[in-house]
Amino acid sequence: MNPELVGRVFPPTAPYLVGREKVREFARAVFADDPQHLDPAAARALGYADVVAPPTFAMVVQDQTLQQLLAQPDSGIVLQNVLHAEQRFRYTRPIVAGDELIGILSVTGVRAIGGNAMVTSEAEIRDAAGDHVVTATSVLVVGEGDE
């Protein structure tokens, strides 16, 4: 694990277009049967343009940012040695079908504990207008494995 990753900010991910059927698929997968996630009319009744993604859907975009981190040749991170310890989302608004989202990852902390490293990263997720949608913060425990 490379401590010099702290403070590194990655380029924005390629725009992710949130599809209605993808939101429905994700909703079914997390046992989210409230109509706002499945029925555009129910979502519109709440003031949204289309179906509303469940709160943890933001991880789909966050995951793209974490792939950037794992792909860094100097990261020293091997996927099999990674454990997800904590996760947090801070929302400005929910993700809605039709959104085009980008994620900007920054590594905010690396702390050694025993032979492991705790890596905190923040993915700031913005829409096509550049407005903030949600920030996803992960704490990963990275074991010292074979590189």
Partner 1 sequence: MIAVGDIVVGSIVAERTVHLTREALVRYAGASGDFNPIHYSDDVAASVGLPGVLAHGMLTMGLAVETIVPWLGDSGSIREYGVRFTRPVVVDPVTGAELRIVAKVGAIDDESARIDLTVTSGETTVLGKAQVRVRLP
Residues that bind partner 1 (CB under 8 A): 22, 25-26, 28-32, 34, 36-37, 46, 48, 52, 54-56, 59-60, 63, 79-80, 83-91, 93-94, 137
Q: Closer to partner 1 by CB, 74 or 131: give it.
A: 131
Q: Is 2 exposed, middle or buried (0-12, 13-18, 19+ CB in 10 A)?
A: middle
Rounded Cα gap, residues 42 and 17, in angstroms: 21
Smallest gap from residue 86 Cβ to partner 1 (A): 5
Smallest gap from residue 71 Cβ to partner 1 (A): 15
Q: How many residues does the chain have?
A: 147
DSSP E strand stretches across 15-131: 16-17, 82-91, 100-113, 116-126
Smallest gap from residue 113 Cβ to partner 1 (A): 15
